[in-house]
Chains A and B, each alone.
Chain A
């Protein structure tokens, strides 16, 4: 498979990587740059465990070719460590009990970041719609919704 050299900004850091042209952004993030917070859950855009921000917009990185990240800003769950809203969301997830096995959590947090950026005060129903593309098998979603709602209504503990 032919390789292509691409330049992207990964979590704020200018990054140059050589990737096979058929590689997904998810594989690049996990296997080339070594950031494993973004999870493989299905590889077909159905579960949301691999959610990242591309130029500030959330998407499933398993459905994106790595070469499409050339010249763009990629933010993963690790990148939210320097993002005030991202950190608030992570803390809210911990406080609300929104984490069980935790495998869906990074994708949920990134998706919640998108949701709260677009709509800082979503209703409960809007939150449910906002995370519709992210599957969770442990929590039944209630505490995940609680966590996002806590930020939406300014009731973080």
Chain B
């Protein structure tokens, strides 16, 4: 036993991930690697048409194939209920298909090969309908209606096809969702303006490309309880939703999340393959496993929302912003998932990233026959920031102001409550701007590149700046944003941390363990984290909105502090000292001042059984602190804390080929406080490169409703040689409500890259491109058109 132990904090250290050794050695079992005794393999037949009526389905040949246990269509599951955010989507389609991903039938068979062979034996007769693939056409008179009211063969509601649930009533037009927000008086704002710009920005389809494809295993026990092995990011919400879809008692559904091969928001909704696998398990009485192919992953998983965004904004000569008016059209695709709700986040950037007195925001998400959009890291913020930050540069240039000064003049300060009602208790935006600019040499480079723009030379350099605002202390998009923790200590001083928070690779289990160890003076090796079984873990709203460190972290700290209080009280009683003068360090109880060791923790814990009857199981919950929730007009606070960042991007543009290379990204991130330095660096670097892909290389090409590039050969992710040099700085604003002062960071790094890249291309060439991605062809054409004009 050491004589003294000095205080040693884990906060801000480089902590290796608890799950990394298993993952690096190939021992981790993802959903693809799990097999359940007696399982069958599920496969789905998808539509071969973009928009069509289903006239006839014949499954008899498939059913006759040896090794096939079930072939199901909508007619076999009359109990199915619509899924998704707007409940407009039946897992198995009844009378029509609305996109090429649409599920028509499903097979459960003894092997994947037999299931695939069976799919080929299913006959489907279609009657093609006109295709609506351009969102601009969705509201035109005579546009094909994507969700007409369902009618039976005789035209009445009474004789609907078997399998059509009554709840599904159709839609009178192609509007899936609308959002409207207003503050001040934009007309008055425009009258005060010296400069006004109006432009339309085009944001494209991209998709998550999780390295682990989607999959699920569904199994009923003999009492009818359902066990799902699922990659969901929201296990507790899905218990309830699956229950609704299946007409079950939610208490009878258990969700176990195996380690997840990437999430990024793609697993926030229920998709048809999940209930369909349950239907197959029900039909066969056997466990059924269904795993996508990569092609299927491209065709049938969600996308980021494509947006056409028209922004009108103005400022005075002195650089004060006056107003913003935004109209957006979102391509919802054939069904409604979370993508339709991203305007909720977009309007925050429009109204509150900088001080704008007058704002008007209208958005419509319209149905088309295209792939449907879900939630994706940043949740609409990449799109909004792309437009807002380009206009910031354009206005600065028009009034002859340095773009950095222009932003600093309009940047928020700590303590502000914006007209939308967001309360910025901690706010490091100005420090982010100044730091990113100073470290990168932004001002000097900006001027030098501008001066060099019209000189001869094929390769031009550019520097661009953009900032972002995002929720960093949970997000009040559900009625509650809580997380529970159970903390158990054993006789040997080891801790089991049972948390509702899900790990999707981001490192939550490590940071939660770290926060607990900080309170209890234990090494990381003393903690085991249990975080993936709804039967065991306490409730949590799910892993999204950059919320886990903040919400689950505060919850874990709460439980650890309870344990600490009990231990120190017991130790004080035994040693005849004041609990206030004791501390926990290195597995020992010590005197706080001197560090003198009083006793070993494990010995004390063992004695407690006999002396104190101490209950060494702690429970705690954390809910976001009380604040004014948003009202129906979207006024109010949405998070307990907000994250800020500025990124400066340096590019090289080859004016002969249109190739844009990202040379360097300098980021300054207000993260509240760095908890795990290794983890936060990794998240930011990964986010930057995801943003780079969005800006330069990634595009899901959808033509007439057909995805043309469902594979990594033609959908280009950034590869290792293409990454920029990165210099990331942390602005530690020590948020008063954050766990140890920290705020969320998961989404932030991906948000500004495209906007900053657009500004950098303009700095390099004088040409502004308002459509993504900046492929060589697009850039070449833009430069070429500009040259022609100049000539």
Contact = CB atoms under 8 A, between A and B. Distances in A.
A77 B29 CA distance: 13
B717 A137 contact: yes
B180 interface: no
Interface string A112-133: 0000000000000101110111
Interface string B398-430: 000000000000000000000000000000000
A44 B26 contact: no
Nearest to B28: A102
B307 interface: no
Given A90-B24, A135-B712, A142 B685 contact: yes
A138 interface: yes
Interface string A3-36: 0000000000000000000000000001000011
A42 B296 CA distance: 10
B17 A97 contact: yes
Contacts of A106: 23-26
A128 B713 CA distance: 19
Given A94-B17, A101-B210, A36 B32 contact: yes
Interface in B250-275: 259-264
A103 B212 contact: yes
Interface of A is mostly: loop
A123 to B, nearest CB: 12
A64 to B, nearest CB: 17
B21 A141 contact: no
Given A139-B682, A140-B687, A37 B211 contact: no
Contacts of A127: 720
Contacts of A129: 720-721
B19 interface: yes
Given A139-B686, A144-B720, A109 B14 contact: no
Highest count of chain A CB atoms <10 Å: which of B262, B507, B726 = B262
Contacts of A95: 16
A44 B712 CA distance: 9
B720 A101 contact: no
Contact of A137 (B262, B683, B720): B262
B678 A46 contact: no
B228 to A, nearest CB: 20
B261 A102 contact: yes
Contacts of A142: 681-682, 685, 723, 726
B176 interface: no
Contact of B719 (A44, A91, A98, A135): A135
Contacts of A143: 678, 681-682, 685
Contacts of A140: 682, 685-690, 718, 723, 726
A127 to B, nearest CB: 8
Interface in A42-88: 42-44, 46-47, 49, 76-78, 80-81
Contacts of B19: 99, 102
Contacts of B634: none
A131 B293 contact: no
B209 interface: yes
Given A135-B719, A137-B717, A101 B212 contact: yes
The interface size bin for chain B is 35 or more
B20 interface: yes
B30 interface: yes
Contact of A100 (B682, B718, B723): B682
Given A102-B28, A104-B211, A97 B712 contact: no
A103 B262 contact: yes
A43 B712 CA distance: 10
B294 interface: yes
Contacts of B711: 42, 44, 46
Nearest to B725: A142
B213 interface: yes
Nearest to B18: A94
Contact of A136 (B28, B211, B213, B679): B211
Contacts of B689: 139-141
B505 interface: yes
B504 interface: yes
A128 B26 contact: no
Contacts of B678: 96-97, 143
B532 interface: no
B33 interface: yes
A99 B21 CA distance: 9
A137 B698 CA distance: 12
Nearest to B689: A140
Interface residues of A, number: 55
Interface string B208-223: 1111110000000000
A142 B726 CA distance: 9
A23 B70 CA distance: 25
Interface string B680-720: 01110111111000000000000000000001110001111
A137 B690 contact: yes
B686 A99 contact: no
B27 interface: yes
Nearest to A97: B678
A97 B681 contact: yes
Nearest to B711: A44
B506 interface: yes
A109 B24 contact: yes
Contacts of A36: 26, 29, 32-33
A94 B24 contact: yes
A25 to B, nearest CB: 16
B258 to A, nearest CB: 11
B197 to A, nearest CB: 33
Interface centre among A78, A94, A143, A145 (most CB of B within 10 A): A94
A99 B20 contact: yes
Contact of B712 (A46, A80, A102, A131): A46
B679 A76 contact: no
Given A43-B294, A44-B713, A129-B721, A37 B25 contact: yes
A102 B681 contact: no
Contacts of A38: 26
Given A100-B506, A143-B681, A143-B685, A135 B14 contact: no
A39 B291 CA distance: 13
A77 B26 contact: yes
Contact of B505 (A47, A49, A101, A133): A101
A49 B17 contact: no
B660 to A, nearest CB: 18
Instruction: Identify which of B25, B211, B683 gathers the most chain A CB atoms within 10 Å of its CB.
Output: B211
Contact of A42 (B23, B263, B682, B712): B712
Contacts of A131: 720
Please indicate which of the listed interface residues B29, B686, B711 has the most CB atoms of chain A within 10 Å of its own CB: B686
A36 B258 CA distance: 14
B299 to A, nearest CB: 14
Given A97-B17, A135-B712, A140-B686, 20 more contacts: A37-B27, A38-B26, A39-B212, A41-B213, A43-B293, A43-B294, A81-B25, A90-B21, A97-B682, A99-B23, A102-B505, A106-B25, A109-B24, A135-B209, A135-B211, A138-B262, A138-B682, A140-B690, A140-B723, A140-B726
Interface of B: 14, 16-17, 19-30, 32-33, 208-213, 259-264, 293-294, 504-507, 678-679, 681-683, 685-690, 711-713, 717-721, 723, 726
21 contacts: A35-B26, A39-B211, A42-B294, A43-B294, A96-B678, A97-B16, A103-B211, A104-B211, A127-B720, A128-B720, A132-B720, A137-B210, A137-B262, A137-B686, A138-B505, A138-B686, A139-B682, A139-B685, A140-B723, A141-B689, A142-B723
